[in-house]
């Protein structure tokens, strides 16, 4: 079994962060492991507090994993400060981590800032470690320092992010009102478009975490970047179609659709 590591924050309601990552990894048939960078207090209504983990404990978590286990791929999520970004970057270089997928988490769906302003420049340098970077449009606008209004802008922004050192860039289009096509810019300059469908649901908590973890799992299993993105897109689409409510706000996606069906779960 392939082993995939997530380095991200914890979501107390289980819909995003490392909890979503581990669910997606399990659904992909890989063994998921975690390095926790922060603990958040959140539910379906929003994020209400964040406590960073010390950089010493973050470094130690990475150290003990890599010194004992062969890690086939790494997914990076919430990194809230420049100190944490620097610590993780140095550790990943030390252990020659491979197949790194970076989801540049900046703001939660409830508009809670998860990345400090002082850490933006550090994140721009950090993404050069990534085999793939997966920004949504608001994140892409910050990284590329430009407005993104259409597919041409998405491609141009991806090229600018590539110039920061990212090998491959997946620009997610879900924030556009007229279209939700995702665009993949590959290392060789090839542009691949993944048309999407707008699904009528409010329950989209953890979609970015889930997609990036799915892609990291598939890359770890030996799939190409393009194939991993295609299969990841198919998985997250089904997960959103089978999302459900657990509270009063934005509910999670259905990570284990097949298992839920087998178990006779009715979550309508």
Instruction: List, by residue number, the catalytic residues.
Output: 172, 204, 206-209
Tokens read off for 96:
């020659």
Q: How many CB atoms lie within 10 A of CB 125?
A: 14
Beta bridge partners of 22: none
Q: Are 88 and 76 in contact (CB under 8 A)?
A: yes
- Kindly give, in sequence order, each residue whose CB lies less than 8 Å from that of residue 151, ignoring residues fewer than 6 positions away: 173, 179, 181, 183, 193
Please tell me what DSSP assigns to residue 10.
E
DSSP string over 144-188 = HTS---SHHHHHHHHHHHHHTT-SEEEEB-TT-SS---EEEE-TT
**CA 227/CA 75 separation, integer angstroms:** 17
CA terminus-to-terminus distance, the chain: 34
């Amino acid at each position: 079994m392939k082993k995939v590591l997530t380095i991200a924050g914890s979501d107390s309601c289980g819909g995003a962060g490392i909890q979503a990552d581990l669910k997606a990894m399990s659904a992909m048939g890989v063994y998921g492991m975690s390095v926790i960078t922060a603990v958040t207090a959140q539910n379906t209504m929003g994020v209400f507090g964040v406590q960073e983990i010390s950089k010493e404990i973050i470094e130690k978590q990475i150290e003990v994993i890599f010194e004992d286990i062969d890690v086939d791929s790494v997914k990076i999520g919430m990194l809230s400060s420049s100190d944490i970004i620097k610590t993780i970057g140095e550790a990943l270089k030390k252990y020659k981590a491979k197949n790194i997928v970076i989801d540049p988490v900046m703001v939660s769906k409830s508009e809670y800032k998860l990345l400090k302003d002082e850490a933006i420049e550090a994140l721009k340098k950090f993404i050069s470690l990534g085999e793939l970077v997966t920004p949504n449009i608001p994140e892409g606008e910050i990284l590329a320092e430009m407005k993104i209004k259409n597919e041409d802008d998405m491609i141009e922004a991806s090229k600018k992010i590539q110039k920061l050192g990212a090998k491959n860039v997946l620009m997610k289009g879900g924030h556009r009102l007229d279209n939700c096509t995702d665009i993949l810019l590959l290392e060789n300059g090839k542009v691949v478009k993944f048309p999407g469908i707008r699904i009528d649901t409010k329950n989209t908590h953890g979609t970015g975490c889930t997609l990036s973890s799915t892609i990291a799992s598939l890359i770890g299993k030996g799939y190409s970047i393009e194939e991993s993105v295609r299969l990841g897109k198919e998985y997250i689409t089904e997960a959103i179609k089978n999302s459900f409510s657990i509270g009063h706000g934005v509910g999670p996606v259905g990570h284990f659709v097949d298992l839920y069906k087998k178990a006779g779960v009715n979550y309508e």
